[in-house]
Amino acid sequence: MRGAWNGCCARSLPGQPKSPTRRRRSRECVRGGRRSFVAVIRPGSKRVLALWCPDWPAVAAAASAGLPATRPVAVLFANRVVACSAIARAEGVRRGLKRREAQARCPGLFLAQQDQDRDARLFEPLVAAVAATVPGVEVLRPGLLVLAARGAARFFGSEEAAAERLVDAVAAAGAEAQIGIADELSTAVIAARRAAIVPVGTGARFLAPLPIGELAVEPSLTAPERADLVDLLHRLGLRRIGDFAALSAAEVASRFGTDAVLAHRCARAQPERPPSARQPPPDLVVEYRCDPPIERVDAAAFAGRLLATRLHGALADAGLACTRLSVHAETAAGEDLARIWRCAEPLTPEDTADRVRWQLDGWLTRRDGARPTAPITVLRLEPVEVVTAGALQLGLWGGAGEEDERARRALIRVQGLLGGEAVRVGVLSGGRGPAERITMVTLGDELVPAADPAQPWPGRLPEPAPAVLLLNRPLVRLETADGAPVKVTDRAMFDAEPALLRWGSKQWRLTGWAGPWPVDERWWAPDADDAELTARAQVQLDDAPAPSRVLLLVYRAETWRAEGLYD
C-alpha cells in the first residue's frame, strides 16, 4: 500500500531492558515578545528517529527533469556515478562506475550532474511535511533527517505507529522513505537503511553482524578519510562491525587516527562525541535586517555568506566551533521559518553559507503553496550546539581540514590584496569543447555553470577530457607521409591519411589517431563568425615527451591548432 511502513522490528530480541525515564530536553527562545521551544537531540540522549529517502540525488534529478518513475537515472560527479536509482541498479549500474561503462550496462540511462542545490531545494517540501507531523526536525543532508523519537512515539502510541505516520506523510509529498529508530544517532541512520527499529540497549548487538563498510556509508556522519579507515580495517581482517567493536578504546586510539576513535564509538553504539559542556552563549546569534526585503535566491545567498562570515568570526573569538546550526527567516507578512542542520564535523564558513543557501532556495522556490507569501525581512543564524574549537581535531599530524582551512585563508588574503576576481575556481559546465566545459567562478560566489552540463550537447568531445588545456592554441601542421597538408572535408573526414605532425621546428611521426569529430554550430547562420567548419581530432606521437605524447587538435579555417594534452 502506498505510504505503508514495511520495515522490520527487532523487538523480539531477548534481554530487552525497559526504557528508562527521560527528561524532556528543549531550548526556550524568546524573541520580540514571542516564546517558542526548539527540540534538541543531545548526543547521548535516547531514542533517535532517522528518516532516509533512498537514492535521493537520483530521485531529485528525475523529478527536476520530469522523468517517469520507470526511467533509470544516475547522478555523476567527476565523470563517475555517485548515485543511481533502483531501476538503474537492476540494470547493473553501480556507484563508482565511469560514465561510459554505466551507459554500456544501461543504454537508456538518464545522466544528470551532481547538484546539491537541486537536492536541497526538492527535499524541503518533504522536510516540511515531516515537521508538520512531528516537530523538532534536523536535516543531516538532503535525503536524510533525524528527530527525537520519544515525543512522536508518545503522541502516536508507539514507535511503529510514529514510523508509519511519517512514511505516509513523505509519501503524500511524493517520495519514498525508510525509518530507523535506535538509541544513538549513527545507529538510527544505519537502521534506517534496513527499515529497522532497534530495541533500547541493543544497538551494539544490532550493529555487530553488519559489514565493516557500513561505518563509512553515510557521508553526513563521517569524515572524508573514513573510507580509507574501513579499507584498512578490512585488510587487517576486521570484516564485521562487531570485530572492530571488540577492540578496546585504548587499542584503537593508540594505533589509528581521530576518525577511528569516532568510528569505534559508533561501532559500539555509543555517542560519537560527548555532549557539549556548555550552552551556546546568546551573543553568538547573528542577524541580518534585509533592506530591501529579499525575494530572490541570489540575494538571499549573498546575505547568507555575510551572516556566515560574521557567525564564524564570533565563534572564533569565543574559541568555539558549531556542529548544529539553526537557520531562521522572518517575512514581511510575519511568517517565521526555521530549520536545523546538523554536521558530523565543525562547520566551516563555506559549509555554513552552503546550508543557508540550500535552505533559502528551498523556502523561496517551493511550488506546493507553502512558500512564503511575502519577501524575507530578517535572516538569523543561531548555533544550537557548539564544541571547543579543535575539540574534534585530535590527530597528531594536524587537525581534520587544517590544510584546507589554511589554503582558504591564503586565497581570501590574495583576494583582499588583488581583488575578488583574482581568485577563481572551475565549475563543470555544458559545451562541446574542453574549454567550454569549464566555467570560472570567483571564489566565494555560488558555483553556477554558464551552461547546463546535463544537456545532450551533440558533437561533444568524447571522454576523457585532456589533462592540460593550451589557452593560446599554438599552430601545428598535420601532414601526410609525403608532407602534404591534411584537411577536413565538408563531410567531416580527413582528405588524406595523417602521418606526421609538425609543431614549430619539430616534427613527429604519428603512431595513431582518432577522429575527426565535427562541431556543427550555427549552421543556420552561414555568415556568423562561429559558423565555419570546425572539427577535433586526437593524435598520438612517436618518441615525444610523456606529457605531450597524445594531443587534442582543433581544425578551423583550414588550420590545425593544438588545444590540449593528455596524460
Interval 306-335: pLDDT, tens: 888 888 888 888 878 888 888 988 888 888
On whether both 289 and 371 belong to a single domain, the answer is yes
Q: What is the pTM of this model?
A: 0.62
Helix spans in 113-257 (H)? 116-133, 149-156, 159-172, 185-192, 203-207, 226-235, 241-245, 249-255
Whole-angstrom Cα distance, residue 539 to residue 463? Answer: 15
Q: How many domains does the chain have?
A: 5
On whether both 320 and 353 belong to a single domain, the answer is yes
- Let me know if residue 372 belongs to a domain: yes
Q: Please report which helix (H) or strand (E) contains residue 306, including its range.
A: helix 297-318
Cis peptide before 464 (omega within 30 of 0): yes
Let me know: does 339 contact 327? Beta carbons within 8 Å.
yes
Residue identified by cell 574549454 is 435
Better-predicted residue by pLDDT, 435 or 25: 435
On whether both 440 and 476 belong to a single domain, the answer is no
Whole-angstrom Cα distance, residue 350 to residue 357? Answer: 10
Residue at a domain's end among 388, 413, 434 = 388
For residue 536, report the phi and psi dihedrals to the nearest 5 degrees.
-125, 155
pLDDT confidence of residue 57:
95
Q: 56-65 and 116-133 helices cross at what angle (nearest 10)?
A: 100
The model's pLDDT over 82-141, given as tens digits with 9 standing for 90+, comes to: 999 999 999 999 998 998 899 999 999 999 999 888 998 899 889 989 988 988 888 889
The model's pLDDT over 328-374, given as tens digits with 9 standing for 90+, comes to: 888 888 888 888 888 767 788 888 888 888 888 888 887 666 677 88
Specify the DSSP class assigned to residue 74: E
Let me know: does 163 contact 130? Beta carbons within 8 Å.
no
Domain containing residue 523: 468-566
- Let me know if residue 96 belongs to a domain: yes
Q: Give the pairing of strands 320-331 and 438-442.
A: unpaired
User: If 0-12 CB within 10 Å is exposed, 13-18 middle and 19+ buried, where does residue 412 land?
Assistant: middle
CATH, residue 215 = 1.10.150
**460-496 as b/e: b if 16+ CB within 10 A:** bbeeebbeeebeebeebebbeeeeeebbbeeebebee
- Let me know if residue 12 belongs to a domain: no
On whether both 295 and 375 belong to a single domain, the answer is yes
pLDDT confidence of residue 123:
92
- Let me know if residue 126 belongs to a domain: no
Whole-angstrom Cα distance, residue 464 to residue 552? Answer: 11
For residue 303, report the phi and psi dihedrals to the nearest 5 degrees.
-65, -35
Q: Give the pairing of strands 336-342 and 48-52.
A: unpaired
Whole-angstrom Cα distance, residue 358 to residue 345? Answer: 18
For residue 259, the SS3 value is helix
User: If 0-12 CB within 10 Å is exposed, 13-18 middle and 19+ buried, where does residue 424 land?
Assistant: middle
- Grid cell at residue 178: 525508510
Let me know: does 255 contact 24? Beta carbons within 8 Å.
no
For residue 515, report the phi and psi dihedrals to the nearest 5 degrees.
110, -160
On whether both 270 and 294 belong to a single domain, the answer is no
Q: How confident is the model at residue 384 (pLDDT cuts 50, 70, 90)?
A: confident
Let me know: does 275 contact 43? Beta carbons within 8 Å.
yes
On whether both 415 and 442 belong to a single domain, the answer is yes
On whether both 286 and 270 belong to a single domain, the answer is no
- Let me know if residue 6 belongs to a domain: no
Residue at a domain's end among 245, 260, 275 = 275
Q: Please report which helix (H) or strand (E) contains residue 384, including its range.
A: strand 376-388
Q: Give the pairing of strands 475-479 and 468-469.
A: unpaired
Residue at a domain's end among 275, 302, 317 = 275
The model's pLDDT over 443-470, given as tens digits with 9 standing for 90+, comes to: 766 667 778 777 777 777 777 788 888 8
pLDDT confidence of residue 389:
62
On whether both 206 and 228 belong to a single domain, the answer is yes
Give residue 483's identity as a one-letter amino acid code. G
- Grid cell at residue 353: 553559507
For residue 50, report the phi and psi dihedrals to the nearest 5 degrees.
-115, 130
User: If 0-12 CB within 10 Å is exposed, 13-18 middle and 19+ buried, where does residue 396 land?
Assistant: exposed
On whether both 294 and 382 belong to a single domain, the answer is yes
Residue identified by cell 511575502 is 374
Using left for φ > 0, alpha for ψ between -120 and 50, and beta otherwise, residue 416 falls in: alpha
- Let me know if residue 174 belongs to a domain: no
Mean pLDDT score of the chain: 80
**Which residue, among 232, 265, 235, has the nearest Cα to 247 in the 3D structure?**
265
- Let me know if residue 265 belongs to a domain: yes
On whether both 415 and 368 belong to a single domain, the answer is no
On whether both 423 and 500 belong to a single domain, the answer is no
Specify the DSSP class assigned to residue 298: H
Highest mean pLDDT out of 197-206, 272-281, 354-363, 431-440: 197-206
Provide the CA 235 distance to its chain's centre, in angstroms.
Answer: 28
Give residue 279's identity as a one-letter amino acid code. Q
Whole-angstrom Cα distance, residue 430 to residue 453? Answer: 4
Specify the DSSP class assigned to residue 543: S
Residues 215-233 have a mean pLDDT of: 86
On whether both 270 and 354 belong to a single domain, the answer is no
Q: Give the pairing of strands 110-113 and 73-77.
A: parallel
Give residue 303's identity as a one-letter amino acid code. A
Specify the DSSP class assigned to residue 301: H
**Which residue, among 268, 243, 269, 247, has the nearest Cα to 256 in the 3D structure?**
247
Give residue 421's identity as a one-letter amino acid code. E
- The C-alpha angle with vertex 295 and arms to 378 and 337, in degrees rounded to 5, equals 45
CATH, residue 112 = 3.40.1170.60
The model's pLDDT over 259-294, given as tens digits with 9 standing for 90+, comes to: 788 899 899 998 765 444 345 666 788 888 888 888
- Let me know if residue 409 belongs to a domain: yes
Residues 14-22 have a mean pLDDT of: 36
CATH, residue 367 = 3.30.1490.100
